[in-house]
Amino acid sequence: MAHHNIYWNPLTETLPREKLMSLQLKKFKRIFEWAYNNSPFYRRLYKEAGIEPGDIKSFDDIRRVPKIDKGMLREVQSRPPFPYGDILAVPIEDVVVFRQTSGTTGTPVYQADTWQDWEWWAECWAYILYAQGYRDTDRVFLPFGYNIFVAFWACHYAAEKLGCEVVPGGVLDTEARILKMQELKCTAFGATPTYVLGMADTARKMGIDPKTIGIKKITCAGEPGASIPSTKKRIEDAWGARVYDHIGATEIGAWSYMCTFETRGLHVNEAFFLVEIEDIDTGEIIETPGKNGKMVITAFDRIGKPCIRFDSKDVIRWADYTCECGRTFRMIDGGVVGRADDITKVKGVLLAPTAIEEVVRDIQELSDEYEVIVTKKGDIDDIMLKVEIRPGCEGDKEAILARLKDQLRVKTNLGYRIEVHPYGSLPRYEVKAKRFKDLRKHG
C-alpha cells in the first residue's frame, strides 16, 4: 500500500488508468483547440491536414494530427514575431522569459514562455523533486551557469515551491562550488551526470572525499547517464547518495522522472503530457513493453509556444514492470536509450552510444571520461575508443583492455581500436558532453 505523503498530487498521480486516459483526451482537445485558434503556424498545419478541433474525439483521431519536429521549429523562427515566429500563441507582450536549446543538433530553437508557462515548468519539476524525496528540510545546491539554457532553472523554482532552501551556485568554479556545498552542509544537488562525476573527481583532487560532504540525493538531467546502471552506480559510490534521473527538454517541458521506489525506469507525468511511442520504420504506435521506438510528445498545458505531437527523435520503450510507489503513470524502461538520429550503423551493426558508456563505466579501473570516434578508411568503417586508466591501475593495463574489448564485443557486437590516454587528458565537460564523434558524415 503506497503512502499518501510520497505524492506531490495524489489525485493525479494515482488516478485510475481509465480516468487518466479520459483526462488526457480532454486535455489534448483543449491544447489542440488553443493552438488552432491562437497560433498561425499550427492553424496552417492543421488546415493543410484537414483537421479541426471538433474532429478530435478519440486517441485514433490524435494519431491523425500532424507531427512537428525540430526542423519546423527552426524554420518558423524566420517569420514574425521576432525571434520566435508565428508558432507563438500569445501576444509577444505576454512572453516573460526567453530560453534556447543548446544547439547540439543544429541551430538553436528559441523558446517563449509566459508567466503561466513558467509556473507550469516549476509545477512539472515539483512532481519530480517530491517523488525523489525532496522536502522543505533540504538545502539544495544548483551548480549550473544560470543562463539562456533552461537546464536547472525550473528545478530552482520548483525546489523553492517545495519549501527547500536553494543555494544558487552559478558563477563559481567547481572547486568553489564544492567548498560551498561543504560549508553549507547541502543535502542535495542537481547537474548533468558528466558534471556530477567531474565534481567528485575535483573534490578528491582537493583532498575531500565527496561522501563526507553530506549529499543525500542527486538529480541528474541533460544526458542519459543516471539511467545507465554502471554510470548511476559510479555516481552513487562516489557521493554516497541516491541518484535519480529526470528527462525534459526546452521545447517540451520536464516530462518524466524516477521516484525513490524503482530506479530501473522513469514515470511519465501523464497528467501533464501525452507520450506516444512510434515504430521507427513503420510509424505504428507501440504499446508493447520492451520494444524501442521514437517518442512523439504533447505538453497539455503549455500555452505560449505549444508543443503538440513533437517528434523528439528520442528512442524510448515502455517498461514491462510496474512500480510499487502506487503511481498509475506508466514507466519507460532505462530512460532515453538513444536518439533516432544518433543510433547509427557502424560496420553494418546498429550502435547506440549509450551502450559503449555502459561498458566503460562498468570497469572501475577506467576513468569517467572516454571518447568514441567513427571514421571511414576506404570503404570500411573504423571505430576508435579513447579511454583513460585511473592512477595506480596502469600495471594492469593489458588485462583491463582485454576485459574492455570483450565487454564491448558482447554488448555492441563490434570490434574497436582502443587508445589509452594519460589520466586527465581527455576533455572534461560542464554541460552536455560530446563524446561520440561520427566523422564519416563530414566526408
Partner 1 sequence: MENLYNIEMLDKRIKELKKIAEEIKESGGQIEAVKRNINRILASIKMLEINICDLTEV
Binding site for partner 1 (CB under 8 A): 4, 9-12, 14-15, 19, 22-23, 26-27, 114-116, 118-120, 123, 271-272, 300-301
What is the number of alpha carbons within 13 Å of residue 359 lying toward its C-beta? 26
- Residue 323 or 372 with smaller CB distance to partner 1: 323
- Residue 169 or 304 with smaller CB distance to partner 1: 304
- Residue 122 or 277 with smaller CB distance to partner 1: 122
CB of 114: closest distance to partner 1 in angstroms?
8
- Distance separating alpha carbons of residues 404 and 46, to the nearest angstrom: 51
- Residue 33 or 86 with smaller CB distance to partner 1: 33
- Residue 116 or 182 with smaller CB distance to partner 1: 116
Q: Please choose, from the candidates 411, 57, 80, the residue with its C-alpha nearest in 3D space to the C-alpha of residue 228.
A: 411
CB of 123: closest distance to partner 1 in angstroms?
5
264's CB contacts (< 8 A; 6+ apart) are 319, 321, 333, 334
CB of 94: closest distance to partner 1 in angstroms?
9
CB of 272: closest distance to partner 1 in angstroms?
7
CB of 117: closest distance to partner 1 in angstroms?
9
CB of 2: closest distance to partner 1 in angstroms?
9
- Distance separating alpha carbons of residues 135 and 244, to the nearest angstrom: 15
- Residue 19 or 347 with smaller CB distance to partner 1: 19
- Distance separating alpha carbons of residues 19 and 257, to the nearest angstrom: 21
CB of 21: closest distance to partner 1 in angstroms?
9
- Residue 26 or 204 with smaller CB distance to partner 1: 26
